[in-house]
Structure 1
């Protein structure tokens, strides 16, 4: 499975540590030490329009399936239907909106693999769009210093003998560590989220490296401290990391990392192990193996 085209939309408005330090009366160093983040991006557009902006420059010839991924689901009319209309696609065999929190992109790749193997789809447009700033309590320093907005669109094709190896782990002991309150805003126990993310990302990486050669690890860009803690246990593996300049963009963070690392070029997904953690608490990962193995 390859990403044959990929593009990102990152809003122009920047929320930096200087602005946040004044708002919450803390130092810029205090914020950076806890997050490893210098900049976040804030969008005035909704997730649908952000997604359209990311997809509009792609060559959509032959696209017959749309997967629209966002933590914020559509109302009544699915996003994929609106994408089909807005981008004037010529044919549509199938479409799904996927709202599965921060692990939504990995879920979409698993769905795409099934579609390819069952000959449902030939060429898939995946749009991943998050406006997490909309879900942040204005006075909550714990979430305001983390979350950011962005969208990524890509064309997915399957021309090889590889299929996905998808694993999911749940830990009900952490169900209340990351959730939504009555105002539909994110609430988070930072220490417990850190513990969950580090422990479970290590566990799931170990499950894969027992059976695979070295893969490039593309983790959910949640927090620099989480990423560094995981890296220490796998010194011989390469980790991709962009969180300093983009913040936590939820389900967008992995595809945004791919785009910022490789640009708009063909990306061989079989060379990578993608890992995400999200509210639930859920750990989800995916890589690819040869069918002939």
Structure 2
């Protein structure tokens, strides 16, 4: 690629990782019963589509999950960590207040010098991070980026609230995004509206060594559902319009894996058949910023998604944030 060649970005490799501890709905129901709370596999599956989730062990941090996913993505892309000149980690559950989880991951990868930073947009985080990396590659600030979504949401769940603790899990997904002569990421769009911050938040923080506020996740499920189904359709159509494409051009929709009903609703609004929607929420629950790259890697490794397929990635999360990316894989 010479200096006069238009610079684009494309996904060169994908990777993902789920911690070994798999917690089924029945496992969780038994745990909650000890607290006097009632739930069941049927109740959870009917409302969310989730059958299991993975929880990291106490000593395992977001950067540890990110490392596993990153190594898989690097291998898939046929490169090494030394080839990477940008690292972005999307997470709402960082290892520390600072430094960023991205710099901790950089150290664990054994490389140094390239920019590394976190993006905090909750469940939209991976779409945000991918868009930022694409922009930096297009401007020449990077040539090969490692973009990761990694979460340990089990650390911020309230296991006295059966409406939220059954929804989330831990995991990581990653892609290697590289400069290309041909467009890979075709169009993207990001949004946020802080007026809705109270419907999904973790309102605690640290001050003077003590926790102020409530450090556990709070969610108004009906309000989130209503807002999510509207903005996901709108942003998908807007990105298609930017790209000069139609919904019928989408080979696969990879939505944030939060709730099967939200995903199905979005697909219906776009007139996409169920076989065009990548669904992995049943096996890992809502892993926030990790869910889209987890689903992408699963579909790539199973052979369902192949080179040349057109993909729509979209996420919505606390903030309230949302966004979408259309790409030719």
Which segment drifts farther, 232-241 or 120-129? 232-241
Which segment drifts farther, 100-109 or 266-275? 266-275
SS of corresponding position for 1:253? helix
Which segment drifts farther, 49-58 or 35-44? 49-58
Aligned partners of 1:262, 1:56: CA distance in 2, in Å? 16
Question: How far apart are residue 174 of structure 1 and its match?
Answer: 3.1
Matched, 1:287 2:308: no
Aligned partners of 2:281, 2:130: CA distance in 1, in Å? 22
In the alignment, what sits opposite 1:178? 200
Of 174, 182, 190 in structure 2, the residue corresponding to residue 168 of structure 1 is 190
Judging changes above 3 Å, is the alpha-carbon distance between structure 1 residues 122 and 223 closer, same or farther for their aligned structure 2 residues? same
Q: Could you state the TM-score of these two structures normalised by the residue count of structure 1?
A: 0.89
- How does 1:208-227 map onto structure 2 within 5 Å? 208-210=239-241, 211-213=244-246, 214-215=249-250, 216-227=252-263
Of 15, 21, 36 in structure 1, the residue corresponding to residue 23 of structure 2 is 15
Judging changes above 3 Å, is the alpha-carbon distance between structure 1 residues 282 and 99 closer, same or farther for their aligned structure 2 residues? closer
- How does 1:49-60 map onto structure 2 within 5 Å? 49-57=64-72, 58=74, 59-60=80-81
Judging changes above 3 Å, is the alpha-carbon distance between structure 1 residues 100 and 46 closer, same or farther for their aligned structure 2 residues? same
SS of corresponding position for 2:143? coil
Aligned partners of 2:115, 2:139: CA distance in 1, in Å? 12
Matched, 1:195 2:222: no
Question: How far apart are residue 262 of structure 1 and its match?
Answer: 0.5
Which segment drifts farther, 9-18 or 163-172? 163-172
Q: Deviations over 1:216-236 (max 9, x none)?
A: 221101101111222222334
Aligned partners of 2:133, 2:307: CA distance in 1, in Å? 15
- Say how many residue pairs are matched: 288
The answer on whether the counterparts of 1:11 and 1:41 sit within 8 Å (CA) in structure 2 is: yes
The answer on whether the counterparts of 2:187 and 2:239 sit within 8 Å (CA) in structure 1 is: no
Question: How far apart are residue 170 of structure 1 and its match?
Answer: 3.6
Question: How far apart are residue 197 of structure 1 and its match?
Answer: 0.9
Which segment drifts farther, 22-31 or 247-256? 22-31
Question: How far apart are residue 252 of structure 1 and its match?
Answer: 0.6
Question: How far apart are residue 212 of structure 1 and its match?
Answer: 1.0
In the alignment, what sits opposite 2:208? none
Judging changes above 3 Å, is the alpha-carbon distance between structure 1 residues 240 and 171 closer, same or farther for their aligned structure 2 residues? same
Aligned partners of 1:223, 1:203: CA distance in 2, in Å? 18
Question: How far apart are residue 187 of structure 1 and its match?
Answer: 0.3
Question: How far apart are residue 155 of structure 1 and its match?
Answer: 1.6
Unmatched 5+ residue regions in structure 2? 1-8, 75-79, 204-212
In the alignment, what sits opposite 1:6? 14
Matched, 1:105 2:141: no
Question: How far apart are residue 158 of structure 1 and its match?
Answer: 2.1
Judging changes above 3 Å, is the alpha-carbon distance between structure 1 residues 189 and 56 closer, same or farther for their aligned structure 2 residues? same
- How does 1:205-244 map onto structure 2 within 5 Å? 205-210=236-241, 211-213=244-246, 214-215=249-250, 216-236=252-272, 238-244=276-282
The answer on whether the counterparts of 1:167 and 1:284 sit within 8 Å (CA) in structure 2 is: yes
Judging changes above 3 Å, is the alpha-carbon distance between structure 1 residues 230 and 236 closer, same or farther for their aligned structure 2 residues? closer
In the alignment, what sits opposite 2:49? 36
Question: How far apart are residue 281 of structure 1 and its match?
Answer: 1.6
Q: Could you state the TM-score of these two structures normalised by the residue count of structure 2?
A: 0.80
Matched, 1:277 2:316: yes
Considering only aligned residues, what root-mean-square deviation do their CA atoms show, in Å? 2.3
